[in-house]
Amino acid sequence: MKIICIGRNYIDHAKELNNPVPSRPLIFMKPPSALLLEGKPFYYPEHSKDIHYELEVVLKICKNGRHVQPEFASGYYEQIGLGLDMTARDIQSELKAKGHPWEIAKGFDHSAVMSDFYDKSDFDMNGILFHLSKNGETVQQGNTKDLIFSFDYLIQYVSKYFKLQMGDLIFTGTPAGVGPIKIGDHLEGYLEEKKILNCRIK
Ligand code: MG
């Protein structure tokens, strides 16, 4: 199982971090050991002083495929969920400045906080509202209709380079509003009005 992540897939988020809007998807990965399942606490890691949350809609791949053609792309995910792409922003900034890979800023243990999954047929796939609250206050909200690269395009694009395998996850990018966490914070993620992600920072 692999965790494929898309960076800068909402214009407002690319701008908030002073990044250019990409002309093709920006891809990175987290190892399977990054996964933290729904309801489990996130322990603030010692290697960073500036961990940020990034709330993202996540696709769960339901069959194997490579070079998926556009007309078949939607058949490769039946379920969606919400994930937090936890990011050591201080380390990421250093690595970015040097042009180095991102793994220790993005792929450290438990950096992929994951909700349970729900059938996509329960949602309007043309535009799913989602939001994150921190200690009861909304800090991020997005609508998947604002994605630069759609879910189906991502399936097509990613599968040109990496064989998709059943159980793989694709984090589809975060909207604006990313920010820091501290010990004691409570993060809650909502898909439409349904609260599906719960994570306490310890
Ligand atoms: Mg992200």
Q: Could you list the residue range(s) of the whole structural domain that residue 168 is in?
A: 3-200
Residue 119 CA to ligand 1 centre (angstroms): 22
Confidence bin at 20 (pLDDT 50/70/90): confident
For position 11, which CATH number holds? Answer: 3.90.850.10
Signed CA dihedral, 165, 166, 168, 172: sign only: positive
Token pair, residue 55, equals 């709330």
Compute the average pLDDT of residues 42-70.
Answer: 98
Per the structure, the count of domains in the chain is: 1
Predicted confidence (pLDDT) per residue in 179-201, tens digit: 999 999 999 999 999 999 999 99
71 C-alpha to ligand 1 centroid (Å): 27
CA angle 179, 185, 186 (to 5 degrees): 100
DSSP 166: T
Res. 175 pLDDT band, cuts 50 70 90: very high
Residue type, 157: Y
**Mean model confidence pLDDT for the chain:** 96
- pLDDT at position 180 is 98
pLDDT of residue 98: 97
> What pTM does this model have?
0.97
Q: What is the pLDDT of residue 21?
A: 85
Ligand 1 centroid from CA 7, angstroms: 5
Among 55, 75, 77, CA closest to 197: 55
Give the span between the Cα atoms of 153 and 165, in whole angstroms.
Answer: 17
Ligand 1 centroid to residue 173 C-alpha, Å = 5
From CA 156, how far away is CA 201, in angstroms rounded? 35
DSSP structural state of residue 144: G
- Residue 28 in this model has a pLDDT that exceeds 90: yes
Dmax over CA atoms of the chain, in Å, equals: 46
Contact 181, 187 (CB under 8 A): yes
User: Residue 35 CB: number of other CB atoms within 10 A?
Assistant: 18
Dist. CA 6 → ligand 1 center (Å) = 6
CA of 55 to the centre of ligand 1 (A): 7
Of the pLDDT bands very low, low, confident and very high (cuts 50, 70, 90), residue 33 is very high
Q: Would the pLDDT of 19 be above 90?
A: no
**Which residues share a beta bridge with 164?**
65
d(CA 194, CA 189): 8
What phi, psi does 134 have (nearest 5°)?
-120, 120
Q: Do residues 194 and 105 touch, judged by C-beta distance below 8 A?
A: no
Q: What is the mean pLDDT of residues 4-26?
A: 90
Q: 122 alpha carbon to ligand 1 midpoint, in Å? A: 24
Query: What are the b/e assignments for 151-168, b being 16+ CB within 10 Å?
Result: bbebbbbbbeeeebeeeb
113-168 pLDDT per residue, tens: 999 999 999 999 999 999 999 999 999 999 999 999 999 999 999 999 999 999 99
